[in-house]
Amino acid sequence: MLAGFARHFGGAPTSLWSAPGRVNLIGEHTDYNDGFVLPFAIDRHTVMAARLRDDRLLRVSSAFTEELIEISLDELSPESISGWSAYPLGAIWAAGAFGADLERVTGIELYLVSDIPVGAGLSSSAALESVVALAVNELWELGFDRQTLAKIGQRSENVVVGAPTGIMDQSAVLLGKSDSVVLLDCRSLESSVIPLGLHDEELTIVVTDTRVEHEHATGGYAARRASCEAGAAALGVTSLRDLGVDDLARAEALLDDETFRRVRHVITENERVLETVAILRERGAGAIGTLLDASHVSMRDDFEISVPELDLAVEVARRHGAVGARMTGGGFGGSAIALIRSSQVGSLREAHLAAFAAAGYREPVVFEVTPSQGATRHPL
């Protein structure tokens, strides 16, 4: 980290920051429908070293490519940035779009490293955006709160990267707390932290990265979002958040089959999030399994965002005695999670490797995640 910074910029950084990736426990494709999500920050991070300059240059490099990107703050625009640097530089542009006076600030040097796998549905991009937004917020004294920093990351993702994603990922990355999930109402942006108590229950969450890479800037994600918007419009509501299970019969009568199934996923998924929260509070994580399982079925059959590798990961976990399992994130690849007795983690990993090999799929990466603290500054 420090050596990488010194190699590109000479000398030492003046501050150090980190932002985690995230896993969504439940509540998929509900965020851009103004609904509920229940993600947590994980113990995988993007770490960034920073140092202010005394001119107007932004200079960014990373251990991913070792390429050095340089641009003046005076030239920063969605059109002038591309490639991987669109994530860090896009966050700076978006801070300006949210009212930061970028004309009075000086340039900055940033060096980034990360152990969050890219394309695995664990929000490596939101971690990049959030770590930069958090750092410049403090170094340039912009005065944004964390909710606004999440919106800044999302704006960058939407406008600069071009992915029409919701607010969940950046919120999880910025608001996460150890051993807890974050319940976020994506309409009001009110959030609360709910303890998971995994350690006491001797439970572990295992991620199986199928290594089927997804892309949210193109294709299926945007199509799902468009279906949801069309469904809401046809049913006369601002967003699907305004509908409940009582509206399903009307929705079925009015909508074509595909749109109806998209709508049914979102309506039932919102219910499952709230039910998960109630069960976590009353009975603990060991009792949420059927909701995780039902969420996966809904994504597989109604929302149609799973892939055979994700279905296999979920099926093997369930056969292996997991409390519950589901794909997590936007879908079309990425990762599945299993909530499982801690003593069974090793054998689940073996079972996943064997099942993927037998099916002729790429070898998955199976690892434990610990619900962790959100983005933060570190002492140097």
Site residues, ligand GLA (CB under 6 A): 24, 28-29, 31-32, 165-166, 168-169, 216, 329-330
Is 322 assigned to a binding site?
A: no
Beta bridge partners of 372: 41
Q: How many CB atoms lie within 10 A of CB 311?
A: 17
DSSP state of 327: E
Return the number of the residue (24 or 46) whose C-beta is nearest ligand GLA: 24
User: Could you say which of 74, 101, 169, 247 is catalytic?
Assistant: 169
Distance, CA of 170 to CA of 375 (rounded, Å): 10
How far apart are the C-alpha atoms of 149 and 92, rounded to whole Å? 11
- Look up residue 96 and give its two tokens: 């300006």
Minimum CB separation of residue 329 from ligand GLA in Å reads 5
The helix/strand/coil state of 57 is strand
Is 201 labeled as ligand-binding?
no
Q: Whole-number minimum distance, CB 163 to ligand GLA, in Å?
A: 7
Coil/strand/helix, residue 142: coil
Nearer to ligand GLA by Cβ, of 49 and 313: the residue is 313
- CA-CA distance, 271 to 275, in Å (whole number)? 6
Question: CB-wise, 31 or 293, nearer to ligand GLA?
Answer: 31
Contacts of 31 (CB under 8 A, 6+ apart): 37, 165, 166, 167, 168, 184, 186
Active site residue 185: no
Q: What are phi and psi of 322, to 5 degrees?
A: -60, 150
HSE at residue 50, side-chain half, CA atoms within 13 A, is 26
208 is in an annotated binding site: no
d(CA 46, CA 54): 26
Q: Is 335 annotated as a binding residue?
A: no
Distance of CA 312 to the CA centre of its chain: 22
Closest CA to 198 of 374, 5, 369: 369
CA 338 to mean position of chain CA atoms: 17
Minimal distance, residue 302 CB to ligand GLA, in Å: 14
Strands (DSSP E) contained in 196-333 are 203-209, 324-328
Q: Closest CB to ligand GLA among 162 and 346?
A: 162
Smallest distance from the beta carbon of 343 to ligand GLA, in angstroms?
31
Q: How far is the CB of 32 from ligand GLA (least distance, A)?
A: 6
CB of 344 to ligand GLA, least distance (A): 27
Query: Has 55 been labeled as part of a binding site?
Result: no
120 belongs to an annotated ligand binding site: yes
30 is in an annotated binding site: yes
Residue 166 or 333: which CB sits closer to ligand GLA?
166
> Taking CB positions, which residue lies at the least distance from ligand GLA?
330
**Judged by CB, which is closer to ligand GLA: 13, or 121?**
121
Binding-site annotation: residue ranges for Mg(2+): 125, 157
Question: Which residues are annotated as catalytic?
Answer: 169
Binding-site annotation: residue ranges for substrate: 28-31, 221
Binding-site annotation: residue ranges for ATP: 62, 119-125
Binding-site annotation: residue ranges: 28-31, 62, 119-125, 157, 221
